[in-house]
C-alpha cells in the first residue's frame, strides 16, 4: 500500500473510532436525556454562533493582521473572512486539521500578499498560537484545581503541555535556522535534477520572510496579546451555553471548560473533528465541576452546532472562490 493510502486509511480508522466513542458516550448518558438538555438551550444556540463569529473569529483575525508588515497588510475585513473560511476548513474537512491554515495563506496570496509573506505569517501565527494556548491551559488548570481540589490530572496535563511546548520550540528554532531552504535542498538532491533548484530558492525566500516577521517584535507581542484575549473571550460562548442550560454560569467555570476543551481537542488533533474526544473531555471536566453528564454532553453538542452553522457557509464561500478562479483560468485558456 502506498504512503498516501496508509495516511487516508489512518484517518478513516481514527474517524471510525471517534464516531464509536461519540456513540458510546451518548448511549451511556442517555440519548433522550441529552436531547432534552440540548433542547433546553433553544434560541441561545444562535447567540453562541453569533458570539463566536463576532468575538473569537474576529480577534483571531486581528492577531493574524498585526503580524503583517504595513506594506503587505490587507484590510482587516478581508483577513476576517479569510480566517473564518480557514477555521471552517480545519473544523469540517476530516483530513484537514491544518488544511484551513493552508487555505487562508492561499487566500491572502490570491488577494495580493506576496506568497512568502502570506505563508510565513500563517506559520508564525500558528507557532505563537500554540505558545499562548499553553499559557491558557495553565490558567485553566490552576482554576480547576482551585475550584475542585482535584490534582490527579495535573501531572499528565502538565506533561502533555510541556511536550507540546518543546515541540513548538523546536519548530521555532528550525524556522529561524532556515528549515525550508534545507528541505528544498534535500528534495533537489534526491530528485537529482536542476529543475528542482528553484525549490531551494523558494525555501530560502520563505525563510527570510519568516525571520523578518519574527524580527518585528511589536507585531509578535501584539499577536500573542490578541490571541490570549481571543482565548479568554471565547469562554463567553461557554458562559452563554451554561446559562441557557440552567447550569452554574460563572466566568471561572466558563474559562475552565474553554481551556480544557481546547487542550483536549488540540491533543486529539489526529481524530477528525475531535469527534468523541471532545465529548469525553466535556464529560470529565464537567463531572469535576458538578455538571450532570447529559448537560455536559449537551454543551459539546452546542459547540458542534456552532461549528456546523459557521463552517458550512465558510466551505461554500471557499468553493465559490476556487470555482470562480477555475472558470476564469479556463476562459483565459480558451481565449488564447
Would residue 73 count as lying in a domain? Answer: yes
pLDDT in tens, 10-48: 767 777 887 888 888 888 888 888 888 888 888 889 999
CA atoms of 301 and 273, how far apart (whole Å):
13
55 found inside a domain? yes
pLDDT confidence bin for 52, thresholds 50/70/90? very high
pLDDT, tens digit, for every residue of 244-253?
A: 998 888 899 9
3-state secondary structure of 182: helix
Cell of 140: 485553566
Does residue 335 sit within a domain? no
Phi, psi of 98 (to 5 degrees): -115, 5
pLDDT in tens, 120-153: 899 999 999 988 988 898 888 888 888 887 777 6
Residue 258 has pLDDT above 80, yes or no: yes
Average pLDDT of the chain is: 83
**DSSP codes, 268-312:** TTTSGGGTTHHHHHHHHHHHHTT--HHHHHHHHHHHHHHHHHHHH
pLDDT at 1 over 60: no
Domain presence at residue 3: no
Report yes or no on 99 lying in a domain: yes
Asked if residue 279 belongs to a domain, the reply is yes
The dihedral through the CA atoms of 132, 136, 141, 142 has a sign that is positive
Write the DSSP assignment of 87-143 as a string of letters. Answer: HHHHHHSTT-TTHHHHHHHHHHHHTT--HHHHHHHHHHHHHHHHHHHHHHHHHHHHH
Range(s) of the domain holding residue 55: 15-326
Residue 1 placed within a domain: no
Close Cβ partners of 7 (under 8 Å, ≥ 6 residues apart)? none
Total domain count for the chain? 1
Residues 284-315: tens digit of each pLDDT: 888 888 899 899 999 999 999 999 999 999 99
Question: Cell numbers of 107, please?
Answer: 487566500
- Counting residues of the chain whose pLDDT is more than 90, the rounded percentage is 36
Residue 86 located in a structural domain:
yes
Amino acid at each position: 500500500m502506498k504512503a498516501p493510502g496508509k495516511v487516508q486509511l489512518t484517518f478513516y480508522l481514527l474517524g471510525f473510532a471517534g464516531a464509536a466513542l461519540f456513540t458510546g458516550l451518548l448511549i451511556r448518558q442517555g440519548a433522550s436525556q441529552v436531547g432534552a438538555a440540548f433542547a433546553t438551550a433553544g434560541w441561545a444556540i444562535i447567540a453562541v454562533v453569533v458570539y463566536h463569529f463576532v468575538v473569537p473569529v474576529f480577534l483571531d483575525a486581528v492577531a493574524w493582521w498585526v503580524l503583517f508588515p504595513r506594506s503587505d497588510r490587507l484590510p482587516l475585513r478581508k483577513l476576517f473572512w479569510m480566517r473564518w473560511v480557514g477555521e471552517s476548513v480545519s473544523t469540517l474537512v476530516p483530513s484537514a486539521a491544518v488544511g484551513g491554515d493552508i487555505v487562508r495563506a492561499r487566500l491572502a496570496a490570491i488577494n495580493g500578499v506576496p506568497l512568502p509573506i502570506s505563508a510565513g505569517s500563517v506559520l508564525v501565527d500558528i507557532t505563537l498560537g500554540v505558545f499562548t494556548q499553553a499559557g491558557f491551559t495553565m490558567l485553566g488548570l490552576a482554576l480547576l484545581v482551585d475550584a475542585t481540589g482535584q490534582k490527579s490530572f495535573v501531572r499528565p496535563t502538565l506533561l502533555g503541555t510541556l511536550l507540546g511546548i518543546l515541540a513548538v520550540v523546536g519548530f521555532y528554532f528550525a524556522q529561524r535556522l532556515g528549515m525550508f531552504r534545507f528541505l528544498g535542498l534535500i528534495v533537489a538532491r534526491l530528485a537529482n535534477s536542476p529543475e528542482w533548484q528553484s525549490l531551494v530558492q523558494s525555501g530560502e525566500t520563505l525563510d527570510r520572510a519568516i525571520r523578518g516577521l519574527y524580527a518585528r517584535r511589536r507585531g509578535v507581542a501584539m499577536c500573542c496579546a490578541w490571541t490570549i484575549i481571543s482565548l479568554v473571550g471565547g469562554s463567553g460562548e461557554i458562559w452563554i451555553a451554561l446559562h441557557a442550560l440552567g447550569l452554574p454560569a460563572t466566568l471561572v467555570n466558563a474559562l475552565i471548560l474553554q481551556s480544557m476543551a481546547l487542550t483536549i481537542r488540540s491533543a486529539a488533533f489526529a481524530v477528525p473533528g475531535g469527534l468523541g474526544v471532545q465529548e469525553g473531555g466535556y464529560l470529565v471536566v464537567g463531572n469535576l465541576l458538578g455538571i450532570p453528564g447529559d448537560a455536559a454532553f449537551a454543551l459539546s453538542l452546542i459547540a458542534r452546532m456552532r461549528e456546523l452553522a459557521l463552517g458550512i457557509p465558510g466551505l461554500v464561500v471557499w468553493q465559490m472562490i476556487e470555482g470562480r478562479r477555475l472558470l476564469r483560468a479556463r476562459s483565459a485558456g480558451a481565449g488564447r
